[in-house]
Structure 1
Amino acid sequence: MDLTGLLAAAGVLIAASAFGLWRRRTDGTVRATAAAATPDRLAAADLGIDLDARATLVQFSSKVCRYCAPTRRLLTEIADRHAVSYLDIDAEERLDLTRRLTVLRTPTVLVLDPDGHVTHRVSGPPRRAELTAAVGRLVGADN
C-alpha cells in the first residue's frame, strides 16, 4: 500500500472514530425543541388517540429495533408515574408521520404538550433521568 492509500485509510478510521464518539455522546439525549423546529402540531387525528391534557409521550418503533422494547417499558413507567398518555407508533406503518417529523431512526421519542406541539425529542434509547425530568417539568410535578 502506498502513502496515499495509508493516508486515506487513516482518514476513514479517524472519521469513523469521531462519528462513534459523537454518537455515543448524543445518543438518548433529551433535547428541548424550538417551536420553529416543528412548525406544525400533532392532533388527535394524526395519532388516533386524544391528546392528554398534560402531556403525551410518542415513541416511533420498528420491528428490528433492538432498543424499542426497553424504551417502551421506560415510557410506560414514566407515563404511569406522571399520569400522562403514551403511544407507540410503528414507523414503517406510519410513513406519513415518520417523514413529516423527520424520524431517522428508532426509537425516536417525542414529548407533546397538551396542544400537540413537540416540546422534547430523543433519538435513540432515552436517558431515564433526563426524560423523567422533562416530563415532570411539563406537567408541573416534582421528580
Structure 2
Amino acid sequence: MSPASALLIAGALVALAVVAGIVLRVLDGRRRRGGHLLFDAAHASAPLGDRATLVQFSTEFCARCPQVRRMLGAVAAEHEGLAHVEVDLTHSPELSARYRVLQTPTTFVVDGSGAVRARFHGVPHRHALADAIAAV
C-alpha cells in the first residue's frame, strides 16, 4: 500500500468518526416517543406522582447522572403532582434489558397509569422535558 493510499484511508476514517460524533451529539437529550412500555412502580425508589413521574435510570459510575438528578428534582418541585424517582441499574442490571436502556442517564416521563409517554437519552433539554410533561 502506498503512503498516499494509507493517508487517504486514515483521513476517511477520521472524517467518518467526526460525522458519527456530531450525529450522536445532536441526538443526545432529545425527546423520543415512549413506545408501548409500562413502568412497574415496584422498581421505583419512591412513590410515583399523581399526575406524572420523571424516572431517571442511572448507575454509580455515571458522570452526568448527578446533574440530571438535580435538574429533574428541581423540575418535579415546580409542578404539582409530578414526582422524580431514580432507578439504579448498578444493582439491577436486568432492568436495562426490560426497559431498553442502553446508556445512562436515561429519563422516562411516565403518566399516572405507568405508561411511558416520552424518553430522553443523556441530559434532557429543559424545553423538551417541559413539553413532554405538558403533554401528560
Q: Normalising to structure 1: TM-score of the pair?
A: 0.84
Asked whether 1:21 is paired with 2:19, we answer no
Q: Normalising to structure 2: TM-score of the pair?
A: 0.88
Structure 1: segments with no counterpart, 5+ residues: 139-143
Structure 2: segments with no counterpart, 5+ residues: none
Q: CA deviation at 1:75?
A: 0.5
- Structure 2 counterparts to residues 52-71 of structure 1, below 5 A: 52-71=49-68
* Aligned-partner Cα distance in 2 for 1:88–1:45: 12
Runs of 4+ aligned residues of structure 1 deviating over 6 Å after TM superposition are none
Q: CA deviation at 1:63?
A: 2.1
In the other structure, the counterpart of 1:129 is: 127
Identity value in percent: 34
1:119 pairs with 96, 111, 117, which one?
Answer: 117
**Alignment coverage as a number of residue pairs:** 134
- RMSD over equivalenced CA pairs, Å: 1.7
Q: Tell whether the 8 Å contact from 2:44 to 2:86 is kept in structure 1 after alignment.
A: no
* Aligned-partner Cα distance in 1 for 2:4–2:98: 46
For each residue in 1:44-86, what CA deviation from the matched residue of structure 2 results, as whole angstroms up to 9, or x when unmatched?
2233544323111110112222211111111011111113121
In the other structure, the counterpart of 2:88 is: 90
Residue identity in the other structure for 2:122: G
